[in-house]
Structure 1
Amino acid sequence: MPRFGFDLAGWFTHNADQVRRDLTGYFDGGTESFTGRWFDEFAAIGDPNRFEASDVLAVEALKVVVPPEAAAALLITETDRFNAKLRQIPREQNLWEVRRLDVNVGSPADDLHQALVGLPDIGWVVAGKLLAAKRPKLLPILDNEVNNFLKPPKGLFWVTMHDELSDPSRREAIADVCQAAPAHVSLLRRIDVALWRAAKRDGSTT
């Protein structure tokens, strides 16, 4: 049984040419200008163990909004609380290099995600994008469109992607297809862009 709604590694292999075109078009800033191509650049500006204004800018490049009251709590009034939680999350490792429990329900990453969702008008999508800005190699992005397209088990996206990419042969098959992106862009982000563009064509929206 596939971990997602379809066999992820098989999907990348089968759609390799389209994925390469999609990644090239997204990151090259050609005829279609995707502001999300700046996400990784903005996210890399700040301290990885502190939420900073550059993280808000990174997330908003992905066409979502961090409302001022939520940003103020994150960056000014409750910064110590959020940064303390952030420091508990592995920093340098790729998703497939950490323990499964590091990205499962009840992990420090999950705890911080829930805390972010508790901010004014911050839903699970924006919270996840904020976390991806701070841990781009560890925590993959999920939005409504990709969720409907990929169909991960509810509440278990990170750990399911961990299981998928922990298989070296499957990870290498996906990575081989996803080479058409700048070197600094993580494999998780490449996967996200490929799935998001496919979901847009598929019309999977909420």
Structure 2
Amino acid sequence: MVPRTAIRGRTVLLLTVVCAAGVLTGCRSLADAASASGCAGTESRVGELTSYGVLGSRPRGAVVPRGFEDPEAGCWEDSGEAWLYAERTYVSPGGKAEVTRYYRAAAEREGWQPSQATRQSSKSGRPANLCFTRGGTDDATVLDVYFLTAEILDAEDSEAGPEFGSGTGYRVSVTSAADGSAGSCSE
């Protein structure tokens, strides 16, 4: 028979390892934690996302609203997956249709390929949120252009400055999975 103190010692050791693994991995298994790289070492790839010209491109008269002067870029981990992003926020004095037309053309000039939903909205001529991918060797990168609402800004704890009252607020966002897996537009 094994003495109680030996069992208690092994149990304490096992619980210590399990608790430490849970704290260190956000409750993922050790195998999952070992295979996931997360955001570590992604700085250069974030830099690549910020270099896409479409982020700095904007229709005539569009302004960068107060509080959004600097591009947002980085890496975030959500549900065990790490995502890279670079984005800019603008307000255009034109309407949604003008913003939509501008970014369809700007994205395609830069080699972005429109999603099925973006192609459909283009045929109808309606203003819409847009989504593009790079395809080919860069199928991990996705470009979204979407219109901002008060709900989106509230969820971000962002304050809509006076510029938002003078036009159409929107965001241009380039994202990629940190592990380089293929990206796609949600249809």
Q: TM-score, normalised by structure 2?
A: 0.29
Which structure is higher in helix share?
A: 1
Which structure is higher in strand share?
A: 2
Which gives a bigger RCO, structure 1 or 2 (Cα 8 Å, sep 6+)?
Answer: 1
Bigger radius of gyration among the two: 2
